[in-house]
Structure formats: structure tokens, C-alpha cells
Chains A and B, each alone.
Chain A
Amino acid sequence: MHGKDLRTEKGFLAVQMTRGVSLVVRLTMAILTRLIGMRWVVDTEDSASGLSMLTPTEAAALSGMLRRILDRKDGQDRWMELLSGELVQKNEYLRTVNKEVISLARSLEATNAELETTRDYLDNLIQNSADMIVATGQGRIVTLFNRRAQEILGYRAEEVIGRSVEVLYQKGETKRVEENLRIAPDGRLMEHEVRLRTKGGIAIPARLTASLLYDETGRVTGSFGACTDLTHIKALEEELVKQQKVLAIAELGGAASHELNQPLTVALGRIQLIRRRQGRHGPYERELRHVERELQKMAQMVRRIGQITRYETAPYVGASRILDLKGSVIKAPKEKQKPQRKLMCG
């Protein structure tokens, strides 16, 4: 150990004390150093008491070494130094570990804050989505029920979370969705039309995009679905179909009325011409009147066909239905007519 700095030697504790340090302190230090597995060393001024704490062999071994070490002291021995190579190393190590722990803690704190922000953002996104968003866990149990879903289906989140998702579907629909999800590629169901059910029991047509959720082992742990309410779109579609029907019928009606009016005009005109030639008391006047009356009925029907503005049907033979000519005509407000105008004869 000759020539070595005791402060870097493992297992030694060098203690330099002022002369005024009491025996009690020194003894305490000696005991403490022993307890922590160090060797107790004191300065030459009071080596007897210090060395007395060591075994005779240890004391002999250290005595010379201590002298050499303490010979280097510059006399500024007013402060006690507790130095040990191992402690310094341990301290350095601990300091490094401490720094790393602090750094890690800060990093974790930052990550946590970031996660909090991300979670808030995602939560905000889910809650404020224009679509209904519902997630389920094991056993079809609802775990997420966003604001839009609450608005449309009339449940509060706490009324649904923890219950089976079946409560949100029309009868038989859950099974159908699950079956489709099962056979869907990648467990993802796209733009699937479903019938939801509100708290009040009203059916809501919706478009569902859903996917199964898996754990790291590939086991299904639940599902996640976004639903768009199609009520308005369905109503518009129905209205569009109705309008298309009306348009088609109106076009057909217009064409039919135009075409049928030609022979009607001719037939009615000819009856009037016969009457002009033979007078109102001709031999066939009775027959002419019958024919004319029936033609007038036809003219009335043609008039209605030409005025179709909506699609209404009426029962016909069996289960079939036919266009209700009376119901399908809304009379437009009368335009200014010439006072003497008279469309029909008779």
C-alpha cells in the first residue's frame, strides 16, 4: 500500500481531526466505520486512541502508512475529512445514478404530460365527433359512449357504459353486426348499414364502420365503432325517390295528356259538327249525347293526368295499387283567366 493515496484505497476511512475533537466523537466514528465495513484511521497526533480500535495487526500495518499520508498534510487540519476511495466511487456512482434517475423522472414527467395532452386531445376528438362512437370490451360491454351517441340515442354515458351493446341495436342486429365483423377482412367492417335503437325505442338507420380490438396475443378484446346517423339522408333519399316518381309521372302525364287531347278534341269537335249539321233534334242525338258525356269524362281524366304534382296511390285489385289521380293533383292557384274562357262544351 506504500505510496498510495489512502483516499482512493478501498476499505479505509481516513479521519483527520483537530486536536480538540473529543474522544467520544472519535470513538463514535470508529464504531460507525466498523459498522459500515471500513477501517478506522486517525491522525498521528492521537493515533493511540484510534489505533487502539483496530486489531494489533491492523494497527501495525496502518501505522506506517498513516504516517506517510499524514506527513503530506499541509497543516490545515482544522476540519475533519471523511474520505474513502470506495465512498467516493460509491458517491460518484450514486450521483450519476441520481442524475439519471432525475433525468428519467423528468423525462417520464414530460412523457406523462404529453400523454395527458394526447389523451385529452383524443378524448376531445372522440367526444366532439359528429359521429356516434362506441367501444366495447369483453362480453360486448360498452366501455365508451361519446356525446353524439348520447344525443342521438338518448342515453347518458353512465346509463350505457357497463351494459351490453345489444341495448343500442334493434333486435337481431347485434348478431348480424358481429357475424359481419367476424367475416370481414382484417376484422374491419366498412360502411355497414345498421338499425340502432334509441332509449325511447325508435329505430335509427345508421352507417357503421367498426373494427375488432386485439391484444398482443391476437385475442379479440373488444370492438370499436363509429356510426353516422342516416335518418336525414334516408328521409332525403325517400323524398328523392318520391320526387323522381312524381317527375316521371308528371312527364308521362304531360305526354299522355297532350297525345290524348288530340283525339278527344277531334271526337268532341266532330260531335258538335254533326249537331250543327243535323240540329239538336237529329235522329242520333241521344247516342251523341252519351258519346259526348263519356268523352267529357275522359277529358276530365286527361286534365288530371296533366296536372299531377305528387305521387299518391290507391288500392286496386288484390294487393296492387294504382296511381290515385285525384290524390296526386294539387290544384295550382288559378292564373288570371279571360272571363269568357270556356274549355268544355255541353
Chain B
Amino acid sequence: MEEQKILIVDDDEGVRDMLADFFRVLGYQPVIACNGEEALNLLEQHDVLLVISDIKMPVMDGIEMLKRIRKKRGDLDVILITGYGPDYSWDSVKKAGASDYVSKPFSIDVIEKKVKSLIDKKTGRRVDAR
């Protein structure tokens, strides 16, 4: 069975690689982009299950990317990663169309839980609360 793809979008190489390794551990195939624009191009080429993206990025930030995704793929789950500060609260990223969000520095346990929750919701399975 072909591995499900998760699109990782972050301008920081360390974060990208760490998340990629993590999703491999979880059994997913990571697809990696450095910014929103690159992510939109990759979405044209790959059938991804979920997108996890940083907000602050050069070329195209996560919010703009999300808005464009929503125009084409209303059903695609997108988790946004924010830094600290008042700029991006849950309410504001939800308003932009995010399925969920996490703040840096995050725990990969939290990422796992959020990803599973969204996938289970989509597939109709019960959320495995840890």
C-alpha cells in the first residue's frame, strides 16, 4: 500500500528535516517545501493527505498559501505553525481557514495527536485520545 503523503512547509531546514523524520517514523511520506509558493506547486503534483506549514516564510507566507489552498481544496486539512506573540491566535488562524495550529517550540507528541485527530475525523474513525 502506498504511503500517505504529508506536505511540510517551513523555511527552516532544521524544522523541515525534523518533521520529515518524524512523519517517516509515523509511517507517512513527507513532501517538503520551503515556502508557500513552492507548496502550491507541489500540491499540483502530489496527492497529499495533510499540510503542516509555518506561517512566517519568505516569498509567500502560510496565511496567503492557506487562502489559495482554500480556493481550490476546501477539504484539505492544514495545520499552521506559529511563533509566540499576539499576531496569530487560534481565532485568527481559524478565520483564515486553518484546521488547527501549533506554536513553536512544539512537541512532536502534540503534532502526532493533531494529525491523527484530523485524519480520523476525515475518515470517520474515533479519535485516539492519548
Query: What is the CB-to-nearest-CB distance from B14 to chain A, in angstroms, rounded to a whole number?
Result: 4
B70 an interface residue at 8 Å Cβ cutoff?
A: no
Pick the residue among B21, B84, B106, B117 that contacts A307 (CB under 8 A).
B84
- Determine how close the nearest CB of chain B comes to the CB of A267; give it in whole angstroms: 8
- B contacts with A, residue count (CB < 8 A): 30
Flag if B109 contacts A262 (CB, 8 Å).
no
Contact A335 B84, CB 8 Å, known A264-B104, A269-B108, A345-B110? no
B40 to A: closest C-beta gap in Å: 23
Residues of chain B in range 38-71 having any CB-CB distance to chain A below 8 Å: 56
Q: Per-residue CB proximity of A294-317 to B under 8 Å, as 1/0?
A: 010001001100110000000000
Chain B positions within 8 Å of A335 at CB level:
89-91
Chain A residue with Cβ nearest B107: A345
Give Cα A345 to B113, complex, Å: 12
- Report if B97 contacts A (CB, 8 A): no
B37 within 8 A of A: no
A13 interface residue (CB < 8 Å to B) = no
77-94 of chain B: CB within 8 A of chain A: 83-86, 89-91
Question: B96 contacts which chain A residues (CB < 8 A)?
Answer: none
- Decide if A264 touches B105 in the complex (CB within 8 Å): yes
Does the CB pair A344–B105 fall under 8 Å?
yes
Given contact pairs A269-B19, A307-B85, A332-B86, A277 touches B107 in the complex (Cβ within 8 A): no
* Contact of A258 with B83 in the complex, beta carbons under 8 Å: yes
* B105–A268 CB distance below 8 A: yes
Known: A261-B83, A295-B105, A343-B103. 20 other contacts (CB 8 A): A257-B83, A261-B84, A261-B105, A264-B104, A264-B105, A265-B15, A265-B105, A266-B15, A269-B105, A269-B106, A302-B84, A303-B84, A307-B84, A307-B85, A340-B114, A341-B102, A342-B107, A342-B110, A344-B107, A345-B107
Task: Enumerate the 6 nearest inter-chain pairs by beta-carbon distance, A residue then B residue, closest first.
Answer: A345-B107, A306-B84, A266-B14, A261-B104, A265-B105, A264-B105
Question: Which chain A residues have a beta carbon within 8 Å of chain B's beta carbons?
Answer: 254, 257-258, 261-266, 268-270, 272-273, 276-277, 295, 299, 302-303, 306-307, 332, 335-338, 340-346
A-B contact pairs, 12 of them (CB 8 A): A265-B15, A269-B18, A269-B19, A299-B105, A302-B84, A306-B84, A307-B85, A335-B90, A338-B90, A342-B109, A345-B110, A346-B107
